[in-house]
């Protein structure tokens, strides 16, 4: 674009340059002012990633019908309804901080859920539910799953918690019971060896005993139970959800 007005030629070069620039901009397409909004857009996109992770962890508790200790699961509804693009810049950091804090609390809560199997190498020899007992031949409720593996396969704590029982327990033989959080307890029966005692704190993956054949059994295996608020539930539901979380890298 050039300037042909003679009166302008007598002006200083700087003044001509300013006028040229101003006139040139009038012929450019209109571009929204996006410099400060660009960072805001990135922050909003990042918050969506956080929201997806939050929703996945919240759904774990909802699927298992658990109420985590000191966490309001309805808080996620507020996040999903809040349009951060319409949020004032001064409030955006606070909104992101609230999401980070909520996600951290969920991650701290999830480590107390028995989402990992108690043995690395196993197959399920008897499912949860009604069955004919292999020893008594009577039909009765099987309140856990039987997991068979190599002789004296290592048995691990399936989540963080503390040991509330370690010893002999009727037909289950040598047993370990672990209390986790959120009303959840796990039981490990028919063990050959007990490697923790009552009162011990344990972490997920810690070796707590060896698979065996103590008590009333037809063969060596681990009887594994999960109770929620003292009521037996299907351990496979927890293990299945745990696999999904591992595959999506939510938990390790």
Per-domain residue ranges of the chain: 35-110, 123-247
Tokens, residue 211: 């698979």
User: Is the pLDDT assigned to residue 147 strictly greater than 80?
Assistant: yes
29 band by pLDDT with thresholds 50, 70 and 90: very low
- Looking at CATH, the fold of the domain delimited by 123-247 is given as Glucose Permease (Domain IIA) (2.70.70)
Give the tens place of pLDDT for each residue, 65-99: 999 999 999 988 887 766 665 566 667 778 888 88
pLDDT of residue 13: 54
Q: What is the pTM of this model?
A: 0.78
Categorize the per-residue pLDDT at 1 as very low, low, confident or very high, splitting at 50, 70 and 90.
very low
CA count, 13 A, side-chain hemisphere, 5: 8
């Amino acid at each position: 674009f050039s300037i042909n007005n003679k009166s302008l030629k007598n002006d200083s070069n700087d003044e001509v340059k300013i006028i040229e620039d101003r006139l040139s901009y009038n012929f450019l397409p209109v571009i929204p002012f996006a410099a400060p909004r660009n960072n805001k857009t990135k922050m909003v996109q990042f918050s969506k990633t956080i929201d997806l992770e939050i929703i996945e962890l919240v759904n774990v508790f909802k699927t298992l019908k658990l109420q985590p200790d000191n966490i309001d699961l309805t808080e996620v509804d507020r996040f999903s309804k809040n349009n951060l693009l319409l949020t004032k810049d001064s409030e955006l950091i606070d909104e992101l901080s609230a999401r980070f804090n909520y996600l951290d609390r969920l991650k701290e809560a999830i480590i107390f859920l028995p989402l990992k199997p108690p043995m690395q190498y196993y197959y399920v020899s008897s499912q949860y539910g009604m069955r004919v007992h292999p020893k008594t031949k009577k039909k009765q409720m099987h309140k856990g799953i039987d997991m068979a593996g190599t002789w004296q396969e290592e048995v691990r704590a399936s989540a963080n918690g503390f040991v509330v029982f370690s010893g002999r327990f009727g037909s289950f033989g040598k047993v370990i019971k672990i209390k986790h959080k959120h009303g959840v307890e796990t039981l490990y029966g028919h063990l050959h060896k007990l490697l923790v005692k009552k009162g011990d704190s344990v972490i997920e993956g810690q070796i707590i005993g060896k698979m065996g054949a103590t008590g009333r059994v037809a063969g060596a295996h681990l009887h594994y139970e999960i109770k929620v608020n003292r009521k037996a539930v299907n351990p496979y539901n927890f293990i299945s959800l745990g696999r999904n979380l591992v595959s999506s890298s939510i938990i390790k």
